[in-house]
Amino acid sequence: MAKTFKNLMDEARASVPEWSIDQVKAEVERDGRRMLLDVREKEEFREGHLRGALSIPRGFLEIQVEEKVPDKATPITAYCAGGTRSLLAARILKDMGYTDVVSMSGGYSAWKGAGYPWEQVRKFTTEQMSRYSRHFLLSEVGEAGQAKLMDAKILCVGAGGLGSPTALYLAAAGVGTIGIIDDDVVDLSNLQRQILHANDRVGELKIESARKTINGLNPDVKVVGYPERLTSANIMRIIEDQDYDVIVDGCDNFPTRYLINDACVMAGKPNVHGSIFQFEGQVTVFHPGHGPCYRCLFPEPPPPGAAPSCAEAGVLGVLPGLVGCVQALEAIKLILGVGKPLVGRMVYFDTLSMELRIHKLRQDRECPACGENPTITELVDYEEFCGLRQAPPEQSRILQVAAGR
């Protein structure tokens, strides 16, 4: 005998507990493990939802829930607009083996009407819905993650070999504000690897060339240019100008690397470090309070000529693309709060042998910048290099790679 809607609702009520909005609020405040599952349509969710709720529309529940909530012992409170869809959804979850499922009676309408806390996802334009549609499909990103990216502010030091792919992929991902520091102009020799620029922009300021390319790719991105040489006198002003969330180091010289490191430690900003040399590259993340900094590896700058630049030693044009893309990826992971950033680890690429190695990095408790008793308390410029303690052979090779861009 076919079941009526009333039959289905009666069966659901017989097997699924219904909690009032007051019960749900009290339990959420008491136990932060309880998951709030919004089974309304995406359009309803965007208009407003309970804080921290996971959105899986009722029509996609059976398809998506096991991927997004793999632990079937997870306490779940399902809700909809008024309590009907959530009750039926909760019954389905019980049938799928979820052991602790309740439905919120009254739904979102009652919750909001009672003045309880709710939030609203950024409203995306039709163009943005299409542009970021592939991000929306990822549970680690989704609409909430895309909103984080669009609110993010990332500062790129350099618009050269590393800064070019980094800035392009940050722009493509929808990072709302991209700052670029570079006082150089486009040279014909740059075009072998610096893909932000073009032949008809030779002689143009790199930050202006970069702005044209970035906004041509994504006009929503705000590009903030700093056509100046980075020094101890301006770095904190620049970092604080937009209150940048992440700094991406794409520079090509040791004085600037040490300056960026020290400033990031003092400002508490994560520093996504990348460098290249001929056919080799490396990437790591220096995150103050979470792992080592650059000075934990190399306490002092090396003597002049210890490691040649790209202009002196050469670099394969495609290599900066590889390293810069990884830098963009690490910056995006930091903004989204997903995955395992390269904090305390350095990935090393050898493109000739196509070998990839991960080096573990340890924080030095005696580090002059981030150690227990730091001796570096103000920023200085390192135009005159001082000596470097003799490093082991493997570390010496890393130092050589660290010179290039």
pLDDT of residue 55: 93
Q: Over the stretch 123-179, which tens digit does the pLDDT of each residue have?
A: 899 999 999 999 998 989 988 899 999 999 999 999 999 999 999 999 999 999 999
So what's the pLDDT on residue 307?
Answer: 60
The Cα–Cα gap between 290 and 362 comes to 11
Angle (nearest 5°) at CA 347 between 343 and 348: 150
Q: Is 283 helix (H, G, I), strand (E, B) or coil?
A: strand
**pLDDT reading at 334 higher than 70:** yes
Whole-number pLDDT of residue 310: 62
**Between residues 401 and 251, which one has the greater pLDDT?**
251
Residue 39 zone, left/alpha/beta (φ > 0; ψ -120 to 50; rest): alpha
Q: Please tell me the CATH superfamily of domain 5-119, with its number.
A: Rhodanese-like domain (3.40.250.10)
pLDDT tens digits, one per residue of 284-306: 999 999 999 999 998 887 766 56
Q: What phi, psi does 40 have (nearest 5°)?
A: -75, 175
Give the residue with greater pLDDT, 276 vs 302: 276
Question: What's the angle, vertex CA 234, arms to CA 230 and CA 237, rounded to 5?
Answer: 125
Q: Mean pLDDT, to the nearest integer, of 20-32?
A: 92
Q: What SS3 class is residue 340?
A: coil
pLDDT band at 346 (very low <50, low <70, confident <90, very high): very high
The owner of tokens 């350099």 is 158
What's the mean pLDDT in 76-96? 97
In this prediction, residue 251 carries a pLDDT of: 92
pLDDT at 71 over 70: yes
- The residue among 401 and 178 whose pLDDT is bigger is 178
What pLDDT is stored for residue 313 in this prediction? Answer: 76
pLDDT at site 143 = 87
Domain ranges (residues) in the chain: 5-119, 152-401
- Segment 363-367 shows an average pLDDT of 95
The CATH number of the domain covering residues in 152-401: 3.40.50.720
For the residues 313-322, what does the mean pLDDT come to?
A: 92
Q: How does pLDDT run across 167-211, given as a tens digit for each residue?
A: 999 999 999 999 999 999 999 999 999 999 999 999 999 999 999
Kindly report the average pLDDT of the chain as a whole number. Answer: 91
The SS3 assignment for 68 reads helix
Domains 5-119 and 152-401 fall in the same CATH topology: no
User: How high is the pLDDT of residue 396?
Assistant: 47
Q: What is the predicted pLDDT for the residue at 46?
A: 87
Q: What is the pLDDT of residues 97-122, one digit of tens each?
A: 999 999 999 999 999 999 999 998 78
Query: How many whole angstroms separate alpha carbon 218 and alpha carbon 306?
Result: 41
Residue 229 has pLDDT above 90, yes or no: yes
Do 259 and 379 meet the contact criterion of CB atoms below 8 Å apart?
yes
- Map tokens 């030095």 to a residue: 364
